[in-house]
Structure 1
Amino acid sequence: MTNSPFTPGIAPARLPAEALAENFADLHAPLDGHEALVAADRCYFCHDAPCITACPTTIDIPLFIRQIATGTPEAAAETIFDQNILGGMCARVCPTETLCEEACVREAAEGKPVEIGRLQRFATDIVMAKGAHPFARAEATGKKVAVVGAGPAGLACAHRLAMKGHAVDIFDKKSKGGGLNEYGIASYKSTEDFAQSEVDWLMKIGGIRLLTDRALGNELTLGELQSDYDAVFLGMGLGGVNTLRANGETRDGVRAAVEFIADLRQADDLGALPVGRNVVVVGGGMTAIDAAVQSKLLGAENVTLVYRRGREAMPASPYEQDLAASKGVRFVFNAMPLEVLGNGTATALRCEYTRIEGRSVQGTGETFDIPADQVLKAIGQTLGATPDGLLIEGGKITVTGAGRTSMAGVWAGGDCANGGEDLTVTAVAEGRDAAEDIHTALGA
């Protein structure tokens, strides 16, 4: 990609290749063998471990840490994968600081938890590096299941179903599997093409076909899938992006943060990726943080994150907020966008200060302008078009129990369903649990 005369402030190669390589290196270096043993030795191996309860996939954390401490990391990895087949990615991207590590007894006693995430990565990396798959596929049942979406929920569902002996076809609208793990996570969290390596490793269970460039819609209907398969799991995530509801939103230089991150993740040369000189990110979640930090790492001079509520209300964790601040991202709280200024091309974002009245956000009438040649929207995604017959609530597919939808024979999980938090680890848990329910329903 090269700079365009219509976007004069957005340009590639703002930093030399050496600086880009350093900026996008692994955020957390992996533990070596000695470091892992020292870290594992800090675990109290609690009988009623709060870290297990805090993990959406309920990994037996004390057990796998004890297995590392006794020199059997392969066994530790199997303990992890038994509950979370994407344990390698989750070790990299999970907000452990608000999940298992926040619940750690060491955190309460000393303010320094056991490094559960890095220990999980240590164990899973060892097994994945060897290439062998830790689980065997059961005898074929003769049943076929369609999975729509090759993201964390779909992959976890497909793997568990394949383990049970079912044949699984995964359909995904992209040219690669992985979903947000491949297209939507900051590059410094998942380096060296790990997302694709993990997909390839997961597929070694056998019995799974990945059919790319196949989106649910006119060319692939839910009715056809119901006719051709014994069960269907929907895990296609959220395809649409909420609008700013601000004047001038269609000006050049305004785009969705998820698109910006996807381009970055797929770029062969980060130096060829254009970025603005003055970047404004609107939003307060993980996508907003990832877009803001990576804009700065690409060489943007000024990066400002605008959030309509106060810091304490931000969905992004305090750790992620501190990371962004450490990279030079400026935060503006209690402000919302009113207008993208410019003559065809963005030059500034006009904002209005806000106040909170009950649960609603109200403008105060006081405005200010932030220079912006690039505005990235990170204010949530939408489900988009959905098949007729599915019950939708709150913009997501309504599910009960382990992902059962309002349509017989159709399950859903991950970001597209109205389950828990929109996290990779939660999506894995929902896909896994739906697979168990599908297996029971099939009576195989």
Structure 2
Amino acid sequence: MRRMNEARPIRPDIGAGRLAPEALADNFSDIHPPLEAHEALVEADRCYFCYDAPCMTACPTAIDIPLFIRKIQTGNPTGAAQTILSSNILGGMCARVCPTETLCEEVCVREVGEGKPVKIGLLQRFATDHLMEKGGHPFVRAEPTGKRVAVVGAGPAGLSCAHRLALHGHEVTLYDAREKPGGLNEYGIAAYKATEGFAQREVDFVLSIGGITLETGRALGRDIHLADLRRDFDAVFLGLGLAGVNALGAEGETSTGSADAVAWIADLRQTTDLASLPVGRRVVVIGGGMTAVDAAVQARALGAEEVTIAYRRGQDAMNASAYEQEIAQTRGVHIRCHLQPRRILTQGGHVSGIELERTTVEDGRLVGTGEIVTIEADQVFKAIGQSFLPDGLASEDAGVVLERGRIRVDAERRSSLDRVWAGGDCIAEGEDLTVVAVEDGKVAAESIHAVLSAQQGLGARIADAVSGAVEALSPGRM
């Protein structure tokens, strides 16, 4: 094999406080400053309010986009927010993190005709921020039904499901393994996309509907068990997310300085002092998705001097959108493609570089060329996907069928086990998007509500029939 750019021996350098507090604050400021009221009116006026709006079809939660924009245009941002939240209760976060450039805005008639879509995401944020700043909750719970539902996982799918069930009058107990709710929105989103503690403010907003009891630090299979939940509740929803991280399978993977990008981003999101978070001078991120981009951009924002994303296929095959790739590149991240990791080089047990092999595609298959490229690094992040850990579902009596390593569900998000539904990244159809997880939770909640309502109706009919029979047998009727 031919080797190129062989790494020189270097002293690993991972440290904190590389940048001044002012520079850090600027680097982690809101990537999309919100629209002012006048700007929102001008932008709303650009909408054609299409009758067969393609933007609405492209939205996984089917928000009535023309209607909410019309309400903004007529000076009713509160009404606009109600329209948004009736379809997507996490509309505030989705306005910040949704890849609108590949969803609603990609099919906007303005984009197709002029190459400049209506800024749907920013308009959605304008409306939802307005309502949340105003305070209160836009919806009122139905009368209590007496039915109880357990929701496991307080991420986007679980929060969406819990809110919709509470709205219908059911009592919900919401469990999460971590100490803070929010799931991906709290622990996995780049800090510059959701600033000023927005994830927790949105959780508080969702829970303010009432009827939801939150229990954190409670993991399925450790603190709570599916058999017990099925016994104690009328229905169960599983929004477990993806807790496992795929391994590189490369020599030196466990060396000091080699880290899981997901865990590192979670640490960054929870730190109260960015200047205290160590980062290398030379950072390499392996992967081509959103996690890889988020890790790379934030490493650069913390003061890393050289940050490289290494991806095994071509740039057009990256899961990160073209827009996200552009963010990375404009912030000083190098994207190098057709490179797959072979081994992590070490010096004294610490990462000193990474050895990669050039790849090519032959007959539709990715193959190595034998050419080796070495990149100096003192920190390597792996971001090559996550996997579902079926904790609490492994016992023989659990009965939840997996498909492609995740929970199999039907169109209503019912699992194979009676009275158990699931949604979000943990299901076979999961798409690793907040907005898709929100839709899963909503669909499951409506299915659960229909089942519980039918049971309640049957119970009432049986009670009436029994009452009638007792009355017929009473002494006065005989």
TM range (shorter): over 0.9
| SS at structure 2 position matched to 1:401 | coil
CA distance in 2, matches of 1:40, 1:354: 47
Structure 1 residue 9: deviation in Å?
1.5
Q: Give CA-to-partner distance per residue, 1:326-382, whole Å, 9 cap, x none.
A: 001001101110101103111101000111234532211111111111111110001
Name the structure 2 match of 1:370.
375
Structure 1 residue 118: deviation in Å?
0.2
Greater C-alpha Rg: 2
CA distance in 2, matches of 1:275, 1:393: 38
Structure 1 residue 394: deviation in Å?
1.5
1:155 correspondence with 2:197:
no
CA distance in 2, matches of 1:148, 1:35: 41
CA distance in 2, matches of 1:342, 1:86: 44
Q: Give CA-to-partner distance per residue, 1:44-92, whole Å, 9 cap, x none.
A: 0000000000000000000000000000010000000000000000000
Name the structure 1 match of 2:389.
384
1:142 correspondence with 2:152:
no
* 1:221 alignment partner AA: H
The RMSD of aligned alpha carbons is 1.0
* 1:441 alignment partner AA: V
* 2:358 alignment partner AA: Y
* 2:375 alignment partner AA: I
Gaps of 5+ in 1: 1-6
| SS at structure 1 position matched to 2:425 | helix
Name the structure 2 match of 1:3.
none
Structure 1 residue 254: deviation in Å?
0.8
Structure 1 residue 393: deviation in Å?
1.4
CA distance in 1, matches of 2:404, 2:107: 30
Name the structure 1 match of 2:264.
260
CA distance in 2, matches of 1:244, 1:361: 16
How does 1:67-86 map onto structure 2 within 5 Å? 67-86=71-90
1:188 correspondence with 2:192:
yes
CA distance in 2, matches of 1:294, 1:245: 25
CA distance in 1, matches of 2:72, 2:124: 9
Residues 420/53 of structure 1: CA separation in 2 closer, same or farther (3 Å cut): farther
CA distance in 2, matches of 1:134, 1:213: 30
Q: Give CA-to-partner distance per residue, 1:242-280, whole Å, 9 cap, x none.
A: 000111101001111011110110010000000011111
Name the structure 1 match of 2:6.
none
CA distance in 2, matches of 1:256, 1:295: 13
CA distance in 2, matches of 1:123, 1:380: 34
CA distance in 1, matches of 2:57, 2:223: 42
1:312 correspondence with 2:322:
no
1:352 correspondence with 2:357:
yes
Gaps of 5+ in 2: 1-10, 457-478
Alignment TM-score, normalising by the size of structure 1:
0.97
1:415 correspondence with 2:412:
no
Indicate if the aligned counterparts of 2:157 and 2:423 stay in contact, CA closer than 8 A: yes
CA distance in 2, matches of 1:356, 1:246: 21
Q: Give CA-to-partner distance per residue, 1:22-49, whole Å, 9 cap, x none.
A: 0000000000110000000000000000
CA distance in 1, matches of 2:437, 2:255: 35
Choose the corresponding residue for 1:403, options 399, 413, 417. 413
CA distance in 2, matches of 1:418, 1:425: 16
Residues 227/55 of structure 1: CA separation in 2 closer, same or farther (3 Å cut): same
Name the structure 1 match of 2:465.
none
* 1:377 alignment partner AA: K
Name the structure 2 match of 1:42.
46
The alignment of Structure 1 onto Structure 2 pairs a total of residues equal to: 438
1:247 correspondence with 2:257:
no
Name the structure 1 match of 2:93.
89
Sequence identity (%): 61
1:431 correspondence with 2:436:
no
| SS at structure 2 position matched to 1:368 | strand
